[in-house]
Homo-oligomer: A and B are copies of this chain.
């Protein structure tokens, strides 16, 4: 059935969330069919769009009055039959009469259907709300129709825009660094490689190399939000082979403390925007009362954090100086109980467990000027002041068993002058996962990529 409406511009459909503010009268809505209650005398359709759900109602006309010649009777019968045939997921466009009515549970309003156009029919949906995660991922484009999933990506939009607005207002320059590289910049492990005309290219594991190059180029302060790739064979809830990395790098810092201060200001900007715009929805759909974190975030040197965790009964079972996920959970819990804070910077990681380009303390080169940011028990970011003195950088690389020859192009730009600098990289999906209490970054990634998942 064709709609009687001719040209519908982008902005003419009324978003469902905007119906409540309209007076009773004609409206045009569009979306997909969530459910149909096809009663003898009356039909109800729950229509959903990206902003909400609304009840549509139609008085059923089941047969033509054999004697009647009432105007529109055939159309009414056809409409009834069309509604009876609607399957979940069918996209429809509806002209109707909005009526506010307190008795309607769903938002206190309904739309009496005048005309309904079936835009595309739909096969039966192969997943349910309680389907397993992997099955939902198989049908991610349907899974994303759920209001909770939709909200995640509206939150993502708000969060990223708040970060970018902070950066732009503070005169950071946005860069798009290449994802195709001639050589691995950090390590040959977990690296995707591809045939590139007559040579081989590698997919960037992070924009680290190119962010630092921008410091040599005199860009001063930069940011990027883009994909990063790791041929990581693990199947944990927090690893992916492709993920969105939030990156920033700043010249003329004095210590990693400067980076942490920038980092917490960015988090406050992001959380403030999310709480303002989506706080009520998050409470409703996720049962979480989001709050804006206070600054400064607690800072604990890693060695001290390990000691605190040990004093509370968990000795991190590692031979090296590093933390482990259980240790991160426990120190996070300690910080929450002691300081009432969801975030904690673990600082001053041992040089042996950090990349060679992290700057070391002048008075104790066994420690780096670096940190991890832990949020609700899980690491979401690594930051550091970088070593900008090429001779020190070479010495640090060699001391860690790296061959400076292999790092050739990485070291090149340092020879032409680089100011002191530092920055961080942060996984977007992890932030969202921990913000919303989700169990996996699969839930907070638009289309997850893992060792056995390249589809859809």
Most B Cβ at <10 Å: residue of A48, A175, A178, A449: A178
Q: Are A388 and B119 in contact (CB under 8 A)?
A: yes
Q: Considering only CB atoms, which chain B residue lies closest to A420 in the complex? A: B119
Which residues of chain B come closer than 8 Å to A158, judged between CB atoms?
168
Give residues 21-59 of A contacting B (CB, 8 Å).
30-32, 48-51
Complex interface: stretch among A120-128, A278-286, A353-361, A376-384 = A120-128
Q: Considering only CB atoms, which chain B residue lies closest to A422 in the complex? A: B10
Interface size on A, residues (CB 8 A): 110
Query: Counting CB contacts under 8 A, is A226 at the interface?
Result: yes
In the assembled complex, the Cα of A254 lies from the Cα of B119 at a distance in Å of 12
Q: Are A261 and B218 in contact (CB under 8 A)?
A: no
Against B, the Cβ 8 Å flags (1 = close, 0 = not) of A9-27 are 1100101000000000000
Q: Are A220 and B261 in contact (CB under 8 A)?
A: no
Which residues of chain B come closer than 8 Å to A452, judged between CB atoms?
197
Q: Are A173 and B194 in contact (CB under 8 A)?
A: no
Distance (whole angstroms) from the CB of A230 to the closest CB of chain B:
11
Which residues of chain B come closer than 8 Å to A150, judged between CB atoms?
217-219
Q: Considering only CB atoms, which chain B residue lies closest to A453 in the complex? A: B182
Query: Counting CB contacts under 8 A, is A210 at the interface?
Result: yes
* Known contacts A180-B454, A192-B196, A418-B91; is-contact A120 B388 (Cβ 8 Å): yes
Q: Are B417 and A451 in contact (CB under 8 A)?
A: no
Give residues 298-344 of A contacting B (CB, 8 Å).
none
Q: Are A10 and B144 in contact (CB under 8 A)?
A: no
In the assembled complex, the Cα of A446 lies from the Cα of B207 at a distance in Å of 12
Which residues of chain B come closer than 8 Å to A231, judged between CB atoms?
196-197
Q: Are A174 and B145 in contact (CB under 8 A)?
A: no
Query: Counting CB contacts under 8 A, is A241 at the interface?
Result: yes
Query: Counting CB contacts under 8 A, is A233 at the interface?
Result: yes
Q: Are B454 and A417 in contact (CB under 8 A)?
A: no
- Give the copy number: 2
Q: Are B30 and A210 in contact (CB under 8 A)?
A: no
Query: Counting CB contacts under 8 A, is A90 at the interface?
Result: yes
Query: Counting CB contacts under 8 A, is A97 at the interface?
Result: no
Distance (whole angstroms) from the CB of A120 to the closest CB of chain B:
5
Query: Counting CB contacts under 8 A, is A415 at the interface?
Result: yes
* Known contacts A8-B252, A218-B144, A252-B30; is-contact A412 B120 (Cβ 8 Å): no
Give residues 156-206 of A contacting B (CB, 8 Å).
156-158, 160-161, 164-165, 168, 171-182, 192-197, 199, 201, 203
Most B Cβ at <10 Å: residue of A30, A141, A157, A229: A141
User: Which of B8, B153, B177, B390 interacts with A254 by CB under 8 Å?
Assistant: B8
Against B, the Cβ 8 Å flags (1 = close, 0 = not) of A120-160 are 11110100000000000000111011000010011011101
Q: Are B417 and A91 in contact (CB under 8 A)?
A: yes
Which residues of chain B come closer than 8 Å to A195, judged between CB atoms?
192-194
In the assembled complex, the Cα of A171 lies from the Cα of B154 at a distance in Å of 9
Q: Which residues of A contact B (CB under 8 A)?
A: 7-10, 13, 15, 30-32, 48-51, 89-91, 93, 119-123, 125, 140-142, 144-145, 150, 153-154, 156-158, 160-161, 164-165, 168, 171-182, 192-197, 199, 201, 203, 210, 213-214, 216-221, 225-227, 229, 231, 233, 241-242, 244, 250-255, 258, 261-262, 388-390, 409, 412-420, 428, 445-447, 449, 451-452, 454-456
A-B contact pairs, 27 of them (CB 8 A): A7-B254, A8-B254, A10-B252, A10-B261, A10-B262, A32-B218, A91-B417, A119-B388, A120-B414, A122-B417, A141-B216, A144-B214, A144-B218, A144-B219, A156-B174, A157-B174, A176-B225, A176-B227, A178-B449, A179-B179, A180-B229, A180-B449, A180-B454, A182-B455, A192-B195, A194-B203, A227-B227
Q: Which 8 A-B pairs have the closest CB atoms?
A: A122-B417, A144-B217, A50-B220, A182-B454, A194-B194, A89-B417, A157-B174, A91-B419
